[in-house]
Structure 1
Amino acid sequence: MNDLHSLDSHYDAVVVGARCAGAATAFLLARSGAKVLVVDRQPYGSDTMSTHALMRSAVMQLTRWGLVPNIAAAGTPVIRSTTFHYGDEAVRVDIKPDHGVDFLLAPRRIILDPLLVDAARDAGAAVRHGIALSELQFASNGRVIGASLRDGSGACRIIRSDIVIGADGRQSTVAQFVNSRATVEGFNASGVVFGYFAGLDWDGLHWHFAQNAAAGVIPTNAGHCVFAAVPASQFVATFRGDVMRGFIKVLASSFPELRADIDRATLLGRLRIFGGARSYLRQCHGAGWALVGDAGYFKDPLTAHGITDALRDAQLLSRGIADGSTRGLEAYQRQRDELSLPLFRATDAIASFLWDIDEVKQLHADLSAAMKAEANYVANLSQEPSLAA
């Protein structure tokens, strides 16, 4: 349903963006008793660029929310190992039981996002696709008090809200309207080409590293996602003119075993490209507004941790809003930053490609320690307090 006229005039929260961060935030707020509206300019179930992989804390949250059976029913393979390939050396790490989780998942976004949207709707949130944010409404003191929404026909409606949440990605319109600035910025970026392949007989996650190149094999729905990455500064020269030729060249020169298997696999659709973008942490709250997901925090996709952090931050933000005070949102940003900075710094260093094999091994050890700390923190979060009066 895309009808603006059927909406109420006021909501406790308006969430702009129905991808995983926005839908998860809406689900948690609605479940705690809030009156929530979610809008997204894209159609329900549409695809988006993604790193796919869900780390332990994300699987833990989805298990708590009762969504893992639905993800499994959609044909998402269970992942029980991760293998790091450093040149000719392969280091396999089995997923051991911890916090009730002994596997990972990597669903396509055409699976994960609609499941989260459905969960938000089932919890009581109003959801509208094909609706864009035109403007934010501000009080005389500068506080955000609502949103002006526009449908595909050009019809507009103003909705009042206690808080407007931007979950609308790196180019967040909400972030632009509130003039949110980066508080921390990265220095490096990788350029990535990826595609979905059928016929690969690879078990578990595989991450490959070599001089000025990286690659990955991620088991997902109906095949594997395979990516090749280079420093962003080399992206155009590597892939210009013929993306497939550049993709094969990177694999052949640095990861010949993977390249040979790709020859025997079948590309589903076309290769997709991401030329790279520098990481950032933005100011993620203010008077009457907040940011979550890539709108507030983006890091290079080379460590495939974006969805995990988005789900974590959805929970932190929903708790901050439920607190009902400025302190709650301040706690959200503080917790987000404390958990994110070790992941951010390790990822930025990996994306620099200015490492040798021993150095990237240490960066992965640092990343693993940060991920464990994140999982421990998420595991110890109590249930969200109720907003219901």
Structure 2
Amino acid sequence: MNDRFDVIIVGARVAGSSLAIQLGKLGKTVLILDKNSFPSDTLSTHHMSHVDYLKKLGVLDKVESKGLRQINRMRTYIGQSFVEGPRSSYTIIPKRDHLDHILLEEAERYEGVSFQPSTTVRNLLWEGDKVVGVSVDHKLGSSSYYGDLVVGADGKYSNVAKWAAAEKYHNQGALRPVLYGYYEGVEPLAEPVTEIFLHEGRIGFLFPMEQGRDCLGLEVHPDEFKTMMKDPQAHFESMYKQLYGMERRLAGASLQGKIIGTSGMPNFFRQAYGKGWALLGDAGHSKDPSTGLGINDAFMQAFLLAESIELYEEGESWEEVMRIFQEKRDAQLLPGFQLTLNYIQSLRSWTSNEMALFQAMAANPMVWNKLVPKIADHLKEDSDDIPLLHQSIELEAVQFGFEKERREE
């Protein structure tokens, strides 16, 4: 294998592979490195609320060929009440072994793109203060590869970020443990719907995947995690059956594989670039999965970085195009980041009056449909006073299915 490339990408999942596809289209020589072989699964919300990214990359048909259900609605339960609304575009919920593998195969179709699995990157190579490559261990021994740019798409605990001393900011740490599993035979609703359950300060998720298979998830209180992991399936199912209607719907269901858990996802932004290096996906920005934005964020960053690399090739300065990349990345991700943190923290502070008001509204859709547009209009009039709440309303219009057009009627 050649040891010199235009771009070396550390990490072959959504962020890394989608960047490689775009660089392949530009005729770049690209080496993708990953410690895993593919197809392989990973912890994920799976929620793809913007399929336009897959269309632009030319892989939507292949991703949907697995028989994924198209989700057009979202339902949110609080206690024993719920509200439901249509989405402006459909969602799909693929398993990551399927999605990541298709993206990687598409990247490898380009003559200049190569992939090396089961490879551990040991360090960055430097010339002075500039990164010029990576040293790796693989099945045949050790090697060094050189590139004009090294991209860390190696996740929230990114080694590339650590070796490059990328500064963190807006750092909140992990807030909530998360557990999930894949189930067959969950009693379906009449129409497939993304379901969010808010119950006793916990968050439940039900994501319809292919016909007959669903991804079930729980965000629990931090002090519950250790006990749950002693017998994860029993504790998970016991807790999940407390959610609205789920005791009946889980009666004939069976777990595929095992329950997977983590003590929490860190919440931060990182410095996005330096001399000869850049960060992408969770390496550059991570947040709690409760709002299901992670996969879409990874695609968005990959498209922004590809655009910046193309501008650099056209003669713009590296510092300028990457400064703009970081500014655009942060401007697009910060509202969702703030919403996510507020969303998590607010779950513990619902008063009995607020719960009663929500349940009354949920029980009367006419009241809900009249009230929500008035809230949005009021926020627009006074947006200087409460900008974050306004951002939250707008983001929820996209994420939870209450269409902006309905609010403005």
- Measured against aligned partners, the alpha-carbon deviations of 1:357-388 in whole angstroms (never above 9, x if no partner) come to 859989998546237689xxxxxxxxxxxxxx
User: Which residue of the partner structure matches residue 205 of structure 1?
Assistant: 194
Structure label with greater radius of gyration: 2
Match of 2:144 in 1: 158
In the TM superposition, what is the alpha-carbon distance from 1:245 to its structure 2 partner? 2.8
1:206 deviates by: 0.5
Say which of 258, 279, 299 aligns to 2:267. 279
- TM-score normalised by the chain length of structure 1: 0.86
Distance 2:320 2:104 in 1: 28
Q: 1:112 aligns with which of 99, 102, 106?
A: 99
Q: Is the 8 A contact 1:168 1:174 kept in 2?
A: yes
Per the alignment, residue 17 of structure 1 pairs with 11
1:21-170 aligned within 5 A: 21-56=15-50, 59-96=51-88, 102-124=89-111, 125-140=113-128, 142-153=129-140, 155-170=141-156
Which position in structure 1 is the counterpart of 2:366? none
SS of 2:91's equivalent?
coil
Alignment partner of 1:328 is 2:321: yes
**Is the CA contact (8 Å cut-off) linking 1:213 and 1:250 kept in structure 2?**
no
Equivalence map 1:201-240=2 (5 Å): 201-202=188-189, 203-221=192-210, 223-237=213-227, 239-240=228-229
In structure 1, distance between residues paired with 2:240 and 2:338: 27
Q: Give the conservation status (yes or no) of the 8 Å contact 1:193–1:271.
A: yes
Aligned residues: percent identity?
A: 25
Partner deviation per Cα, 1:207-226 (whole Å, 9 max, x = no partner): 11123111010011350001
Can you give the 5+ residue segments of structure 1 that lack an aligned partner in the other structure?
1-5, 97-101, 375-389
What value does the CA root-mean-square deviation take over the aligned residues?
2.3
Map of 1:378 onto structure 2: none
TM-superposed deviation, 1:33: 2.1
Q: Which residue of 1 aligns with 2:394?
A: 369
Q: 1:55 to 1:292 in 2, by over 3 A?
A: same
> What is the Cα deviation at residue 199 of structure 1?
1.2
- The alpha-carbon distance between structure 1 residues 316 and 233, as it changes in their structure 2 partners (threshold 3 A), is farther
1:172 paired residue among 158, 183, 187: 158
AA in 1 matched with 2:213: G
**Greater shift after overlay, 331-340 or 263-272?**
263-272
| Distance in 2 separating the partners of 1:371 and 1:120 | 33
CA contact (8 A) 2:172 2:267 kept: yes
- Measure, in 2, the Cα distance between the counterparts of 1:345 and 1:190: 15
1:379 aligned partner: none
Per-residue CA deviations over 1:115-167 (Å, capped at 9, x if unaligned) read 11011111331111111211111112x100111122034x1111111110000
Shift of 1:175: 0.8
Tell me if the contact between 1:23 and 1:120 (Cα under 8 Å) persists in the aligned partners.
Answer: yes
Q: Equivalent residue of 2:245, what SS?
A: helix
SS of the residue corresponding to residue 155 of structure 2 reads: coil
Contact 2:173 2:268 in 1 (8 A): no
Matched, 1:339 2:328: no
Could you report, residue by residue, the CA deviation over 1:236-255 in whole angstroms, capped at 9, with x for unpaired residues?
Answer: 24x142212321332244x1
Query: Tell me, what secondary structure is at the counterpart of 1:264?
Result: coil
Report the 3-state secondary structure (helix = DSSP H, G, I; strand = E; otherwise coil) of the residue aligned with 1:180. coil
Q: CA, structure 1 residues 181+231, in 2 after alignment: closer, same or farther (shift >3 Å)?
A: farther
CA contact (8 A) 1:144 1:288 kept: yes
Answer yes or no: is the 8 Å Cα contact 2:174–2:267 preserved in 1: yes
- The residue type paired with residue 224 of structure 1 is D
Which of 266, 286, 292 is matched with 2:254 structurally?
266
Show the 5 A alignment for 1:176-195: 176-186=162-172, 189-195=175-181
Quickly say closer, same or farther: Cα 1:326–1:230, change in 2 above 3 A: same
- Quote how far apart the aligned CAs of 1:17 are: 0.5
1:34-93, Cα deviation, whole Å (9 max, x unpaired): 21110111011111111000112xx11111222111111122211111111122222111
The answer to whether the 8 Å contact 2:152/2:158 transfers is yes
* Partner Cα distance (1:75, 1:283) in 2: 39
Residue 85 of structure 1 aligns with an amino acid whose one-letter code is Y
CA contact (8 A) 2:77 2:244 kept: no
Q: Is the 8 A contact 1:339 1:370 kept in 2?
A: no
How far does the alpha carbon of each residue in 1:186-236 deviate from its partner, in whole angstroms, 9 at most, with x for none? 265221111111112132211111231110100113500011211334322
Distance 1:208 1:256, change over 3 A: closer
1:290 aligned partner: 278
CA distance in 2: counterparts of 1:115 and 1:278, whole angstroms: 28
Q: Which residue of 2 aligns with 1:350?
A: 343
Secondary structure of the 1:343 match is: helix
C-alpha distance in 2 between matches for 1:43 and 1:197: 25
- Relative to 1, partners in 2 of residues 1:292 and 1:368: Cα closer, same or farther, differing over 3 Å? farther
Secondary structure, aligned partner of 1:168: coil
2:69 and 2:199 map into 1 onto residues whose CA distance is 28
Q: Give secondary structure in 1 for the equivalent of 2:154.
A: coil
SS of the residue aligned with 2:335? Answer: helix
Aligned residue pair count: 357
- Tell me what 2:368 maps to: none
Q: Tell me, what secondary structure is at the counterpart of 1:44?
A: coil
